[in-house]
Amino acid sequence: MNKKEKVNYIIKTLNDIYPNPPIPLKHKDPYTLLISVLLSAQSTDARVNIITPILFERADNPYDMVKLSIDEIKEIIKPVGLSPMKSKGIYGLSKIIIGKHQGKVPQNFTDLEAFPAVGHKTASVVMSQAFGIPAFPVDTHIHRLMYRWNLSNGKNVLQTEKDAKRLFPKDLWNKLHLQIIFYGREYSPARGWNINKDIITKNIGRKSLLK
């Protein structure tokens, strides 16, 4: 199976399994999504979805968020981990959104990645899921599967993102990155991996069990 055939098979299989993949993080607008994605770093979506309702009850917009102190934010978000860095980031980006962007989350990578505690992956998620702008956020699941599927060399997530964007049609990026995440969690995990359950990897050939 060549790369084009692999890509077509992956797209068809994922569409069969996940025709309408939901956005994993609960949110109501670009701001609450941005905060949720920031909180998800080195945490789980499930844990973030437990904590964000508590935080957003106090502050679900930048104007209310800056009324809280960094220590108050830190105390609320402590269960998701990295709370000292994340609380400073949430407070800091909220001030910038108010001061530079009229209270609205900007719709471009340059401004998003200029926010404290916001990297390229977080910006990509916001661009794709909040604004519908084509992006391909690469998390550990996508990075692992692109390597297992012999579609990327596995050296770093930036290379994986470039390879994914080169191989998959642009109009599918926003849906596809969610489909691959769900597939990785359910069928092709890093630990306890069962090749017989992982039908995509089994059918297109695997590169390594280590990624």
Select which of 6, 60, 121, 163 is catalytic.
121
60 is catalytic: no
CATH 1.10.340.30 assigned to 30-130: yes
- Residue 208: predicted pLDDT: 47
Residue 209: its pLDDT value, please? Answer: 45
Whether 121 is catalytic is: yes
207 falls in which pLDDT band (50, 70, 90)?
A: low
pLDDT at 199 over 90: yes
Domain 3-21+136-204: top CATH class: mainly alpha
Residue 205: pLDDT over 80: no
C-alpha 43 chain-centroid distance: 12
Q: How far is CA 211 from CA 50, 141, 165, 169, in A?
A: 29, 9, 20, 25
Pick 208 or 173 by higher pLDDT: 173
Per-residue pLDDT band at 210 (split at 50, 70, 90): very low
| Banded model confidence at residue 206, pLDDT cuts 50, 70, 90 | low
Reply yes or no on whether the pLDDT at 43 is more than 90: yes
Query: Concatenated DSSP letters for 106-175?
Result: -SSHHHHHHSTT--HHHHHHIIIIIT--------HHHHHHHHHTTSS--S-HHHHHHHHHHHS-GGGHHH
pTM: 0.92
The residue annotated as part of the active site, out of 45, 78, 139, 207, is: 139
- Report the C-alpha gap between 198 and 17 in whole angstroms: 12
pLDDT digits (tens, 9 = 90+) for 2-17: 889 999 999 999 999 9
pLDDT in tens, 53-106: 999 999 999 999 999 999 999 999 999 999 999 999 999 999 999 999 999 999
Average pLDDT over residues 29-58: 97
Q: Mean of the pLDDT values across residues 111-135?
A: 97
Q: How large is the average pLDDT for residues 24-45?
A: 97
Q: Do domains 3-21+136-204 and 30-130 have the same CATH topology?
A: no
Q: Encode pLDDT of 141-195 as tens digits.
A: 999 999 999 999 988 999 999 999 999 999 999 999 999 999 999 999 999 999 8
Write down the domain spans for the chain: 3-21+136-204, 30-130
Q: What is the distance between the alpha carbons of residues 30 and 42, in angstroms, rounded to a whole number?
A: 21
